[in-house]
Amino acid sequence: MPANASYPEAVDRLIASLRELPGIGLRSAERLAFHLLTADPNEPATLAQALIDLRQTVDHCSVCMHLTDRGKDPCAICSDPKRDRSTVLVVEQPRDLIALESTGMYAGLYHVLMGRLSPLDGIGPGELTIAHLIDRLDQPATDERPAITEVVLGLNPTLEGDGTALYLAEQLHNRQLTVSRLASGLPSGSELEFANRAALAAALHGRQRVGPS
């Protein structure tokens, strides 16, 4: 007997839909469904409207592949005349871009790969926006669009991020480009004794000279 043998059909259907979401199991889906049943009736209606609008009003920027409002292409960053058009920072996901952008420390452009190479999950170069990045780098410079001279690889310091960075570095080889990668090491404000081995190894490997040279 299924655990939810006697829920009304619409409740079962909502629970099934919620379970499709990542990280939501049966118990969470039931809890969310009951919350939505008993909450202010506007709450499920607002969420439903947001879901409907999502695919209808959100698009990808044709330049950097970041999310943008439909009809606003290129996106706000790509069309901002104050940004440095000679540098492109490559990230895996839109939220990586948002995180970097929130530092206020980067004034160049971005490129969103929409994932990372993951052969075990069947994600190869063709599933990412790598070809599009290379097209972008190979476009001849114009008056409005100077040549791109630096590519910063902003991939996560994980096994798959490292693999993707390596692959991209190979693909970008033999071009008039500086290719760099975001520094990896001890997180600022952390204590050495609590760092994991990978962070310590990265910190040792990337050690930088200090003091009078």
Nearest Cα residue to 90 out of 22, 160, 173, 154? 154
HEC sequence for the chain: CCCCCCCCHHHHHHHHHHHCCCCCCHHHHHHHHHHHHHCCCHHHHHHHHHHHHHHHHEEECCCCCCEEECCCCCCCCCCCCCCEEEEEEEECCHHHHHHHHCCCCCCEEEEECCCCCEHHHCECHHHCCHHHHHHHHHCCCCCCCCCCCEEEECCCCCHHHHHHHHHHHHHHCCCCCEEEECCCCCCCCCCHHHCCHHHHHHHHHCCCCCCCC
Contact yes or no for 74/138 (Cβ under 8 A):
no
Q: For residue 18, state whether it binds its own copies (rule: CB under 8 A).
A: yes
Shortest spacing between CB 69 and its own copies, in angstroms: 5
Structure tokens at 75: 């996106």
x-or-dash string of contact with its own copies, 158-187, rule CB under 8 A? ------------------------------
Q: For residue 65, state whether it binds its own copies (rule: CB under 8 A).
A: no
Q: For residue 7, state whether it binds its own copies (rule: CB under 8 A).
A: yes
Q: For residue 68, state whether it binds its own copies (rule: CB under 8 A).
A: yes
Q: For residue 107, state whether it binds its own copies (rule: CB under 8 A).
A: no
Looking at the Cβ atoms of 127 and 150, the one nearer to its own copies is: 127
**Please, which of residues 70-89 interact with its own copies by CB under 8 A?**
75-77
**Please, which of residues 33-62 interact with its own copies by CB under 8 A?**
33-39, 41, 43-58
Question: Using CB under 8 A, which of 73, 84, 94, 131 touches its own copies?
Answer: 94
Structure tokens at 113: 């790969």
Looking at the Cβ atoms of 61 and 137, the one nearer to its own copies is: 61
Shortest spacing between CB 174 and its own copies, in angstroms: 33
Q: For residue 121, state whether it binds its own copies (rule: CB under 8 A).
A: no
Q: For residue 22, state whether it binds its own copies (rule: CB under 8 A).
A: yes
Shortest spacing between CB 62 and its own copies, in angstroms: 14
CA 34 to the chain's CA centroid: 32
Q: Provide the binding-site residues for its own copies, judged by CB under 8 A.
A: 1, 3-11, 13-14, 16-18, 20-23, 28, 30-39, 41, 43-58, 66-69, 75-77, 93-95, 97-99, 101-102, 104, 114
